Structures are given as C-alpha cells and as structure tokens.
Amino acid sequence: MASAAEQLASNLNFSAFSKADDLKKRIWFTLGALLVYRLGTYIPIPGINPEAFAQAFERQSQGVLGLFNMFVGGAAERMALFALGIMPYISASIIMQLMTSVVPSLEQLKKDGEQGRKVINQYTRYGTVLLATLQAYGIAVGLEAGAGVVTDPGTFFKVSTVITLVGGTMFLMWLGEQVTARGIGNGISLIIFAGIVAALPSAIAGTLELGRTGSLSTFLIIGVIVLAISLIALIVFVERAQRKLLIQYPKRQVGTKMFQGDSSHLPLKLNTAGVIPAIFGSSLLLLPATLAGFSDTSNLPDWATALLASLGHGQPAYMIFYAVLIAFFAFFYTAIVFNPKDTADNLKRHGGYIPGIRPGERTAEYIDHVLTRITVVGAIYLVFVCLLPEFLIARTGVPFYLGGTSLLIVVSVTLDTVAQVQGHLFAQQYEGLIKKSKLRGGKKRR
C-alpha cells in the first residue's frame, strides 16, 4: 500500500487529465452551468426602460448597489433576471449560522449529524425565499419611484418583478447545488467567482487604454500589476496557513495485543472567518451613502453632510471605520463558526488530549487562547489586503478593479477548485494502481 501511494504521488501530473473521463465531464458540466448563469445576467426583467434605469443606477453606483452589482456579475446595472444573484442565499446561510449558536433547538440539530444538516439546509432555503421576496419587492417599489424607469407601474409590475427576481435567485441556488454535486468546486462560490471575473477583461482593457492615451503612466501600470501579483501571493500564503495543535491518543489494548497511542493534529486556520468580515464591513460602511442617494440631501444639517462626505471612498474616516469593522467581524465570525468548548469535548470523548494540557475546560481555554492570537494576525492581514487597494485608488486614481473583498473571493475559490481537481485526479489514479496491484497478485497466484 505504501509503494502504491509513493507511485501515485510521482505520477500525479497534468497528463492524468487525458485519462480522467469523469473529471472532464465534471469540468464541462461546471462550465456549462456558469455559461447559463452568465446568459441570465443579460436577460432584462419586463417593464423596464433601459436608458432611464441606467441613468438612475449610475447615481447610486458608489454605494452598496455598486458592491452588490460586482457580486452579481453586472446583472444589477442591467436589472436582469439574476439581478438578486445568489446573495439572498448567502445572507440566509449566515443568519442560520448565527442562529445555530444562540437557539438551543437549532444547535441540537447541528449536532444530530446528516439528518440535522438536512433540516438546517431546508430552513436556509425557506429563509432564502423570504429574503429574496423582501428584496425583490423593495426593488420593485424603488424602480417605480424612479422617473420614467418603469413603463407601466402598478400591481402587475410589482408582482411580476417579485416572481421573476425570486425565481432567478432560486434557480441560481439550484444551479449551485447541481455544480457542487455534479461539477467541480463549490457551486455557490463559483457563481460569485464568475460574476466578479466576468468584468475583469473590460477593466484590464480600460486600464491599458488609459495608459495608451497618457492618463496613466506606464510605470504606474506596471506597479499596479506587480502589486496585484504580490497581493495574490500573500492571500495564497495566508489562506493556506494553519496553526497545528498536536493531539495525542493514549495506548489501547485489543484482546491480548497492546497498540501504541496515535497522534494527529488539530488545524486552526490563520483566517478562520474567510471573506465574511470584508463583505460585512464594506456593506455597513456603504449603507449611509446608499441611503443618502435615495433621499434628498439638500435639507440635511451641515454636520450630517460633512459626515457623509467623510465616509466617502478614500477618506481617512472611511479607512479607519473600514479597518475597525473588518477587525470586529473577524473576531465575531470566528467566535460563531468555531466553538473551542465543543472541540475540547469531542477530543475528550474520543480519548484525545493536548500534551501538557488537562482535558476538558483547560483544553477549551488553551484552544481559545491560541485561536485568539492567530485571529489577531488574520485580522491584520484582512485589513491590509482590503485597505491597500482603497489607498491606491484614492492616492493615484488607478482603477484597481479587484478590490480587497473581490480579490479574496477570487483567490480563495480558485484555491478550493484546484484542490478539488487534484483530489479527483488523486482518487482516480489511486483506484487505477489498486486495480493493477490486484491483477498482478492474481497472475502470481496462477
């Protein structure tokens, strides 16, 4: 078995793709599903005046709508079938994660294994429908409030808009689940990934055009490229970084034989919260600007006007609040998704312990202490990655399309997808080596 594993590791390369028929089918299925998603972002909902809506959207593009439009692949600025994207499902999933930590019945479902997870997933789908319906109705009302945006306002327009947008979101949720089951990678993450990357070619072309016309210097463009590559390398390094805690298992006796105690590791990710702190922080920070865009700001007092101006992109107050929100949500979300007490109880139940640490409460305190320390580093990393593009845009005027949040999503999804491709190749070659070893064994017996 050891020699087979060594041979597998040496043979795992790109030439294995030619023999991986199942993997190729999964890749083609994934690409086909993403193509369907991209087509849906160009099909407009009925009853909209495209020119009037484009003008109205341009006035709000600097707020939450601009960030939301990036996540849905430009479907919001075209008010397309998939204008809501998959974000209601993401919001419902996060809400369910928070509720499983504070509602005892949901927490028990989480511990019930596969059956409990199915129930929680069903609740998440119901929450998705509710959130999507509320958001779609709000969009319908907002569209009717715009001058000339809706060709025939009224109840029929509201109902048709809600049905269309909610149907688009539910279709994307189903499509993401199909990609996860029959394709490569996490389907929901890949849909967001495709939406962000879709506008990248035009953004690169626009930057190069600015360089050709002399609006941006060649050295500045080269510097941006080097910075982007450096940020990607940093994200790859940190997202793969782990703090491994040694777990020891005692000796055990089976019959008359004594087996030596095993050892393993408890991996703690440096950035346990992932990209959630950046999404939450930017959304909350852009909310005042979005609300101001939908209201009449001429009657606001001077202090409110000055506050709104200070929270604009590139302003010092914006940078400070953004950093504080990212750091806060990094600790908050880590505390939600990782429970040191449950981990310590599971270790104690299976006879595992951390050398030098008493099992039970002391182990939970030690894990919490280590997790807090590495989360400090993770929060600093998130603040740096998210604020550096903002600083670059504010000081140099370079249209750095991939901001910190989008860059984190793109790199993380790419790493996860590549890891799954390698896993499929590894599993297929391993099965091939096992079959070969069985055939050789049968020939020898003959």
Q: What is the DSSP string of 106-167?
A: HHHHHHTTHHHHHHHHHHHHHHHHHHHHHHHHHHHHHHHHSTTTBSS-SHHHHHHHHHHHHH
Tokens 């580093």 belong to residue: 377
pLDDT of residue 286: 67
What is the Cα–Cα distance from 350 to 363, expressed in whole angstroms? 14
- Tell me the range of 15-24, 100-109, 371-380, 425-434 where mean pLDDT is highest: 371-380
Instruction: Quote the DSSP letter at residue 397.
Output: -
Burial class of residue 98 in the structure, from the number of CB atoms within 10 Å of its CB (0-12 exposed, 13-18 middle, 19+ buried): middle
Mean pLDDT, residues 428-438 taken together: 63
Kindly report the number of other CB atoms within 10 A of residue 330's CB atom.
27
Kindly report the number of other CB atoms within 10 A of residue 317's CB atom.
14
pLDDT tens-digit readout, 127-139: 999 988 988 888 8
Handedness of CA 140, 281, 77, 125 (dihedral sign): negative
Q: CA separation (Å) from 114 to 111, 121, 175, 344?
A: 9, 10, 22, 21
What is the Cα–Cα distance from 271 to 333, expressed in whole angstroms? 11
pLDDT tens-digit readout, 372-408: 999 999 999 999 988 887 777 777 666 556 667 788 8
pLDDT of residue 174: 92
pLDDT of residue 11: 46
3-class secondary-structure state, position 49: coil
pLDDT of residue 375: 92
Contact 389, 399 (CB under 8 A): no
Q: CA separation (Å) from 38 to 161, 179, 180, 185, 337?
A: 20, 15, 18, 18, 32
pLDDT of residue 7: 44
Kindly report the number of other CB atoms within 10 A of residue 306's CB atom.
12
What residues does 260 pair with on adjacent strands?
none
Mean pLDDT, residues 81-91 taken together: 86
Residues of the chain with pLDDT > 90, as a percent, come to: 13
pLDDT tens-digit readout, 237-290: 988 888 888 888 776 655 566 556 677 888 888 888 888 888 787 777 766 665
Q: Which of 55, 11, 101, 145 is nearest to 339 (CA)?
A: 101
Largest CA distance in the chain: 94
Give the domains, in start order, of the chain with CATH numbers: 19-199 (1.10.3370.10)
Residues of the chain with pLDDT > 70, as a percent, come to: 78
* Amino acid residing at 301: P
pLDDT of residue 164: 92
pLDDT of residue 377: 92
What is the Cα–Cα distance from 412 to 272, expressed in whole angstroms? 12
Burial class of residue 280 in the structure, from the number of CB atoms within 10 Å of its CB (0-12 exposed, 13-18 middle, 19+ buried): buried
pLDDT of residue 6: 44
Q: Which of 343, 334, 413 is nearest to 375 (CA)?
A: 334
Kindly report the number of other CB atoms within 10 A of residue 110's CB atom.
18
Question: What is the total residue count of the chain?
Answer: 446
Q: What is the mean pLDDT of the chain?
A: 79
pLDDT of residue 9: 44
DSSP string, 211-272: HHHTSS-HHHHHHHHHHHHHHHHHHHHHHH-EEEEEEE---EEETTEEEPPPEEEEEEETTT
Least confident of 32-46, 59-73, 111-125, 150-164: 59-73
pLDDT tens-digit readout, 195-243: 888 877 777 777 778 778 877 778 887 887 888 888 889 988 988 888 8
What is the Cα–Cα distance from 387 to 314, expressed in whole angstroms? 9
Residue 166 scores a pLDDT above 90:
yes
What is the Cα–Cα distance from 354 to 329, expressed in whole angstroms? 29
